[in-house]
Amino acid sequence: MVPQSNGPASWWRGAVLFDVDGTLVDSAYLHTVAWWHAFRQHQHEVPMAAIHWCVGMGGDRLVDRLLPADRDREADAEIMASHAAVFATNWPSLTAFDGAKDLLAQCHAGGLAVALASSARREDLAANRAALAADAYIHAATSSNDAEESKPAPDILAAALEAVGGATANAVYVGDAVWDMKAAAALGVPSIGVTCGGRSAAELFDAGAAEVYAGPRDLLDNLQASAIGRLLALPS
């Protein structure tokens, strides 16, 4: 278990919240394929491109967005369970993006609270954290289990920020999906986009990103000039 913040926000210069799938771990397309199989198992033909566009929002919202409104909604939970089962077969193959662990370590070393704020199920988040191997640099982690509403609602981000005792005025969120950018905007937190999850810089900027980088390594290489760098410059 990652230790939670035991003190006030003044412990930290600021807080950096991170999405995980497609941001720190190369799993966005694995989720796309898992959803594609889940839909087919329940006799729904949904193009992978449409699925990938929705990856990053909560599973309930993804299903509702991609399937007809007049469907049998009682089957939605079974579709989500099918997705979970297919995705779980990929747990051993999950791989962190280059620079992901080093990025978390640098934020931690700079006196920032580091929290994971993911739409993933708790079990999938645990598998992603194993792939990251960076628990020593993570102060808190929240999943879909910790939010009443999923992204693009800001609930998961708010829960992560609360877990580290942070304030929106001194927080930044890093994500790869348009839904991440919208969730950050709803919370009033600046967002940094990364294109390693498959969304373009233009799409992320249009969704509200303040900055966009290719991935964790690119962000790490430009950390001092980024929104995270501005937090690092705050007095401790």
pLDDT tens digit string along 57-70? 999 999 999 999 99
Which band of pLDDT confidence, cut at 50, 70 and 90, is reported for residue 1? very low
pLDDT at 3: 35
- Alpha-helical (H) ranges within the chain are 28-41, 48-54, 59-66, 76-88, 100-109, 122-132, 155-163, 178-187, 201-206, 216-221, 227-232
Query: For the chain, which domains are there?
Result: 9-27+95-232 (3.40.50.1000), 28-89 (1.10.150)
- Please give the share of the chain, as a percent, with pLDDT higher than 70: 95
- Which of 27, 26, 49, 51 has the alpha carbon at shortest distance from 38? 51
Distances (CA, A) of 86 to 25, 81, 199, 205: 17, 9, 23, 32
pTM for the model stands at 0.94
The β-bridge relationship of strands 140-142 and 112-117 is parallel
Q: Using CB atoms within 10 Å of the CB of residue 103, give its burial: 0 to 12 exposed, 13 to 18 middle, 19+ buried.
A: buried
Per-residue model confidence as pLDDT tens digits over 98-153: 999 999 999 999 999 999 999 899 999 999 999 999 999 999 999 988 989 999 99
Does the pLDDT of residue 202 top 50, yes or no? yes
pLDDT at 11: 59
Does the pLDDT of residue 236 top 80, yes or no? no
Biggest CA-to-CA distance, the chain: 57
- Report the distance separating Cα 159 and Cα 165, nearest Å: 10
Q: What is the mean pLDDT of the chain?
A: 94
Torsion, Cα of 187, 171, 30, 199 (10° steps): 80
Instruction: Tally Cβ neighbours within 10 Å of residue 109.
Output: 10
Residue 223: CA count within 13 A, CB half-sphere: 20
- Which of 196, 191, 179, 187 has the alpha carbon at shortest distance from 61? 179
Does the pLDDT of residue 34 top 70, yes or no? yes
- Report the distance separating Cα 23 and Cα 207, nearest Å: 16
pLDDT at 12: 80
Does the pLDDT of residue 2 top 80, yes or no? no
